[in-house]
Structure 1
């Protein structure tokens, strides 16, 4: 139960943390409309599975053949949560250009998929999560279920962002408070990272 709560909190906060995915969904929703924003969210959720797949394959191999290396990765994973907490806390307000041309649903999906697939923030986040839960108690089915939750969280959050940010009034209110929101999320992520770091010592 403690593991589930920790994974849930870290995932939700990390997903909500503004970054390349957040900027892309907001931009596509604002410039091209709700439909484009939603298809971008689908693309991001699909891209997350790239990270989940190689994390499961790679970490499972290490657990079987180099188990001590898992502990080292866990330390780095916990330290990375502290790092992204700091980066979120100091994140500058996200800005967008005003140049817009129509894009298709397929293009919007591709934008989201490629942006997330090559996003180092998601790479390190997913590896950090799976390195913490890669234990003998967690079989492949449970790890896969965690993957579904992580991908589903991305889809739900960015779907909501697409809905809200396609309305200009809502968008303006969100971004007016983004600095304060970033700082709150940053503190919580760093605190969770430190707790995991000390738990692994």
Structure 2
């Protein structure tokens, strides 16, 4: 129980961070609308797994190296921006259904595997330098240096599970019948909006 206050602080900070619109939010919304609940959930799982990556290098101190080495941090930023632009391109190409497809416009598209969705979520979060900064601040400013490694690892597992569950919940809510009906035939506008958001996030990464 001696680490309960530390854990509650971490949980609160993480809640604010994960609920804020960002690349993870945009890609989960986009995949939920475009491909349906199953693909969005696999994307969410990928995001949760990427959190373990951040936790791993934070525990060994690599996050400090990345954040304090300008060229390395810049490289991460440009890689992340390029990947977000790639995702944005696909989202911005979304258009209204044609011909007989209008009838089935509320059904998710096909053409993306669960494995690809998993990697999409993993890369979106894993390449995000903002996540590096978040975990750097978490493991240096909030978590006490004397906190045992096993406790820090427990924090990391919680963060990964909480992140994955949050986005799985978001995926579920976005793909319920009422929400799907609300989006209806104009769902491609939301897809395009997510594309614009991804472009904006990519620009923010590059321009600071």
TM-score bucket of the superposed structures, by smaller chain: 0.5 to 0.7
Query: Distance in 2 between the 1:60 and 1:30 partners?
Result: 34
- On the 8 A contact 1:30/1:168 being kept in 2, the answer is no
Native 8 Å contact 2:32 2:39 kept in 1 = yes
Which of 5, 10, 16 lines up with 2:8 in the alignment?
5
Q: Please point out which of 25, 28, 38 is paired with 2:28.
A: 25
| Alignment correspondent of 1:34 | 37
Larger radius of gyration: 2
Aligned residue runs from structure 1 range 103-114, under 5 A:
103-114=112-123
Which residue of 2 is the match for residue 85 of structure 1? none
Unaligned runs of 5+ in 1: 63-71, 73-95, 176-201
Flag the 1:35–1:110 CA change in 2: closer, same or farther, 3 A. Answer: same
The TM-score with structure 1 as length reference comes to 0.63
11-20 or 162-171: bigger deviation: 162-171
1:133 CA displacement: 3.9
Q: For the structure 1 residues 154 and 10, does the alpha-carbon distance in structure 2 shift closer, same or farther, using more than 3 Å as the test?
A: same
Instruction: Please give the TM-score of this superposition, normalised by the length of structure 2.
Output: 0.61
User: 1 CA distance for matches of 2:167 and 2:157?
Assistant: 15
Instruction: Report the Cα offset of residue 135 of structure 1.
Output: 2.7
Question: Paired residue for 2:81?
Answer: none
Distance, in Å, in 2 between the alignment partners of 1:17 and 1:24 is 13
Would you say the 8 A contact 2:63–2:136 is kept in 1? no
Shift of residue 159, structure 1, vs aligned partner: 0.4
Stretches of structure 2 lacking an aligned partner (at least 5 in a row): 69-90, 96-108, 184-189, 191-208
Conserved? CA contact 2:55–2:156, under 8 Å = yes
Aligned partner of 2:126 in structure 1 is 117
CA contact (8 A) 2:32 2:171 kept: yes
Q: Does 1:55 align with 2:58?
A: yes
C-alpha distance 168-24 of structure 1, shift in aligned 2 (>3 A): farther
Question: Number of matched residues?
Answer: 142
